[in-house]
Amino acid sequence: MKYTEYNDLYGRNEFGREFTAYLNVVTGIQSLAQGDYVSEEAASSNVKSKLIQQFLDSPMDDGNGLKLKKLYAAAMTIAQSKSAGNLNVNNAAQTAVIIDDALTRFKVSYLKENGTLNIDDAIEYLVDRTTARAVFLIDKVIDKGVPVVLTAIGNAVAAVCPPAAPVGRIIQSSARFVTPAVKQAVHRGVSFIAEKSKSILSSVASSFVSIGQSVRSKVKNWF
Amino acid sequence: MENNFDKILESLLMDFEKNPNQDIDNFIQSLKTKYSLNPQDMHFLSETLGYLDGFEKEAASLSKVPQTISYRKDWLLERLDSIMEGRSEEEKAQIVTAVSERESEVLSSLNNDN
């Protein structure tokens, strides 16, 4: 949609509703996709990771997650440099989004299944995380005092929605290093969130005020 | 079937867990020599880590907001106000138009992938 104004009277609130709805939708679509990608339980490793279990058991947003995510970033960089792993990530922004989304889903799925989070809170947390990433991605391409490159903004918006396959691979890789019970909980949680997302997406799609009818129809027709 | 990414991840996890209180950034720097990473690899890794740090900061900011019905939208708009501070209304309209138009393209492309 073309915005000709952006102020408190018109444009700002409309854009806020539209962008928030978009972030809801792409989060839900990713949840649906992961329901397919994580449809089989991951093979187990004999090695169990205390760091991964600590991440799962620690409070939300307490910093343990960032440490683990940085390790994953290093692992992906090394794999990429050795042409190993076939993760096919193109750039740093996409890599970071994949890691952040995958590990967030890994944790949220586990917490949903162990009763720490109910399904609504689990999904709200996923959308919050998508929103946080979106804001930072846009912030990164807008420098104060410098003319904006609109294509860079477009690329930032596209980067919010990572490809599903590497996200699923990271979830599956992580599940190898936890106990069978935890792995099964993650697997069930991913599936449950996928199912719930299906019904949420149908209703959210109708709230797309500004996106064209053809796109709204497409989103609704997916389910 | 195990792939090399899994082996690399396993190796990093086990190495780090030998001394779990060590500084993660120093540990990652040490990988440059161990895995013969070139300057481009280290630049890529550094950029990726920067994004992860940024995501964490924004998520922490959002988590502190009282969860009213429109908390997410309100927080998003306030952050965008800050990001676009000093720009004309015309520029702001162009920026959000660029976001909106790319949203449509992304959704259309997702449908094409199904």
∠ CA A33-A126-B80, nearest 5°, is 115
Q: What does the pLDDT look like over B30-53, one tens digit per residue?
A: 999 999 999 999 999 999 999 999
What is the band of A50 on the pLDDT scale with cuts at 50, 70, 90?
Answer: very high
∠ CA A116-A117-A120, nearest 5°, is 165
Report the percent of chain A where pLDDT is more than 90: 60
- The answer on pLDDT for B114 being more than 50 is no
Candidates A105, A120, A116, A122; CA nearest to A175 is: A105
Q: Identify which of A47, A99, A215 has the shortest CB distance to residue B104.
A: A215
Tokens of A57: 């058991």
ipTM, two decimals, is 0.93
Question: Residue A119's pLDDT is what?
Answer: 94
∠ CA A46-A51-A53, nearest 5°, is 75
Residue A40 CB burial class (10 angstroms; 0-12, 13-18, ≥19): exposed
Q: What does the pLDDT look like over A70-100, one tens digit per residue?
A: 999 999 999 988 876 566 667 899 999 999 9
Question: Which 3 state secondary structure label does DSSP give B112?
Answer: helix
All residues of chain A having their beta carbon less than 8 Å from the beta carbon of residue B75 are: 131
- The answer on pLDDT for A220 being more than 60 is no
- A107 vs A54: CA distance, rounded Å: 11
C-alpha distances in Å from residue A54, one per residue of A121, A162, B84: 21, 26, 38
- The answer on pLDDT for B111 being more than 90 is no
Please answer whether residues A102 and A174 qualify as being in contact, where contact means their C-beta atoms are separated by less than 8 angstroms.
Answer: yes
Tokens of A94: 């996409």
- The answer on pLDDT for A218 being more than 50 is yes
Q: Identify which of A47, A92, A138 has the shortest CB distance to residue B10.
A: A47
Q: Identify which of B8, B10, B28 has the shortest CB distance to residue A45.
A: B10
All residues of chain A having their beta carbon less than 8 Å from the beta carbon of residue B101 are: 1-2, 154
Please answer whether residues A164 and B110 qualify as being in contact, where contact means their C-beta atoms are separated by less than 8 angstroms.
Answer: no
Residue B105 contacts A, CB cutoff 8 Å: yes
C-alpha distances in Å from residue A45, one per residue of A72, A176, A212, B2, B81: 17, 5, 48, 9, 47
- B93 vs B45: CA distance, rounded Å: 34
Tokens of A50: 């205390």
All residues of chain A having their beta carbon less than 8 Å from the beta carbon of residue B55 are: 96-97, 100, 129, 132-133, 136
Q: What does the pLDDT look like over A175-212, one tens digit per residue?
A: 999 999 999 999 999 999 988 988 777 766 665 544 45
Best residue in B10, B57, B69, B107 to probe A by mutation, most A CBs within 10 Å? B107
Please answer whether residues A169 and A87 qualify as being in contact, where contact means their C-beta atoms are separated by less than 8 angstroms.
Answer: yes
- The answer on pLDDT for B2 being more than 50 is no
**A11 pairs with which residues across the strands?**
A7
Residue B30 contacts A, CB cutoff 8 Å: no
Helices (H) and strands (E) in chain A, counts: 9, 0
Looking at per-residue confidence, does B83 or B105 come out higher? B83
Please answer whether residues B20 and A51 qualify as being in contact, where contact means their C-beta atoms are separated by less than 8 angstroms.
Answer: yes
Amino acid at residue number B60: A
Candidates B92, B76, B86; CA nearest to A160 is: B76
- A193 vs A34: CA distance, rounded Å: 9
Question: Residue A205's pLDDT is what?
Answer: 62
Please answer whether residues A186 and A117 qualify as being in contact, where contact means their C-beta atoms are separated by less than 8 angstroms.
Answer: no
- A153/B102 touch (CB, cutoff 8 Å), yes or no: yes
